Amino acid sequence: MIELYTSPTPNGWKASIALEELELPYTVHPIALQKLEQKQDWYLKLNPNGRIPTIVDKDNGDFAVFESGAILIYLAEKTGRLMPSDVKGRSLVVQWLMFQMGGIGPMMGQANVFYRYAPEKIPFAIDRYHRECRRLFEVLDTRLAEHEYLAGDYSIADIANWSWVHTYPWSGVEIDGLEHLKRWLAAIGNRPAVERGRLVPQQPERPPDAATFVEGARKILA
Ligand X SMILES: N[C@@H](CCC(=O)N[C@@H](CS)C(=O)NCC(=O)O)C(=O)O
Residue selected from 52, 97, 104, 175 as contacting ligand X according to rule CB under 6 A: 52
Residue selected from 4, 5, 24, 38 as contacting ligand X according to rule CB under 6 A: 38
Residues in contact with 149: Cβ distance below 8 Å, sequence separation at least 6, in sequence order: 155, 157, 158, 184
CB atoms within 10 A of CB 9: 18
Between residues 52 and 140, which has the closer beta carbon with respect to ligand X?
Answer: 52
CB of 13 to ligand X, least distance (A): 9
Residue selected from 11, 155, 163, 171 as contacting ligand X according to rule CB under 6 A: 11
Q: Tell me: does residue 16 bind ligand X (CB under 6 A).
A: no
Considering only residues 117 through 156, tell me which ones interact with ligand X, judged by CB under 6 A.
Answer: none
Between residues 50 and 80, which has the closer beta carbon with respect to ligand X?
Answer: 50
Distances (CA, A) of 180 to 60, 145, 176, 196: 40, 6, 11, 24
Side chain identity at residue 72, one-letter code: L
Classify residue 88 by burial, with Cβ atoms within 10 Å: 0-12, 13-18, 19+. exposed
Q: Tell me: does residue 220 bind ligand X (CB under 6 A).
A: yes
Residues in contact with 58: Cβ distance below 8 Å, sequence separation at least 6, in sequence order: 1, 2, 3
Residue selected from 18, 26, 65, 68 as contacting ligand X according to rule CB under 6 A: 68
CB of 104 to ligand X, least distance (A): 11
Q: Tell me: does residue 51 bind ligand X (CB under 6 A).
A: yes
Between residues 19 and 178, which has the closer beta carbon with respect to ligand X?
Answer: 19
Extract the runs of DSSP E, i.e. beta strands, from the chain.
2-6, 26-30, 54-57, 63-66
Residue ranges in contact with ligand X by CB under 6 A: 9-11, 33, 38, 50-52, 67-69, 220
